[in-house]
Amino acid sequence: MKYYEKQLIMPKKLMLAVTILLVFLSALFGYSFYEQEFLDKPVPETGIAGHWALLICALTAFVAWYVSKIAIITKVEEDTLYVSLGKFGKAKVELKDIESVEDKKGNPAAEFLGYGYRVKLKQLGYVGRGKEAIEIKIKGQKRTLVITTDNASSLKEALQSNIDTTESP
């Protein structure tokens, strides 16, 4: 059984607000660069040089783009579980290395103190906006893997059906 889920880190309205704020900041620095380079206005005493304004403009535009796209992606394909936070924080777990898959009780966002890729002493978490979570124990790993999801039963079924088929002779 294959499984795929993409869940957002932040609510859509908050993501939109953060993106708009970052685009606005990018536009301010872009205008500062434009003023200095094309309108030949001098750099104010407390201002920043045009090349720095351009760099900050580009950086905030990139961050705005990344924030608008960030999500936790969970995939189960053939004999592997893939979990990632956008392009960063990737985890790849062979299904044969999974010892157990259990429902996670409580609120992972409160337990891990936020959303995203989270590390605790004995747990590693991919915490998104999902209402449910599962906890995976992996052979040879000190930390368990916690993944939030909108449909824990489907994810557990995908993991366990693949575990059962890989263990049978």
In a domain, 3, yes or no: no
> Within this chain, do residues 97 and 154 fall inside the same structural domain, yes or no?
yes
Q: Which of 27, 47, 69 is the last residue before a domain boundary? A: 69
CA–CA distances in Å: residue 158 to residues 56, 146, 154: 44, 16, 6
In a domain, 79, yes or no: yes
- pTM of the predicted model over 0.75: no
pLDDT of amino acid 162: 57
pLDDT of amino acid 136: 93
What CATH number has the domain bearing residue 106? 2.30.29.30
Number of domains in the chain: 2
Decide if 138 contacts 83 (C-beta within 8 A): no
> Within this chain, do residues 153 and 121 fall inside the same structural domain, yes or no?
yes
Spell out a b/e string for 24-51, using b for 16 or more CB atoms within 10 Å of the CB, else e: ebbeebbebbbbbeeeeeeeeeeeeebe
pLDDT of amino acid 83: 92
- Transcribe 2-55 into DSSP letters: -EEEEEESS-HHHHHHHHHHHHHHHHHHHHHHHHHHHS-PPPPTTS--HHHHHH
In a domain, 1, yes or no: no
Could you list the mean pLDDT of each consecutive 10-residue stretch along the chain, which spans 169 residues? 83 80 82 81 76 81 78 89 84 90 88 86 88 91 91 87 56
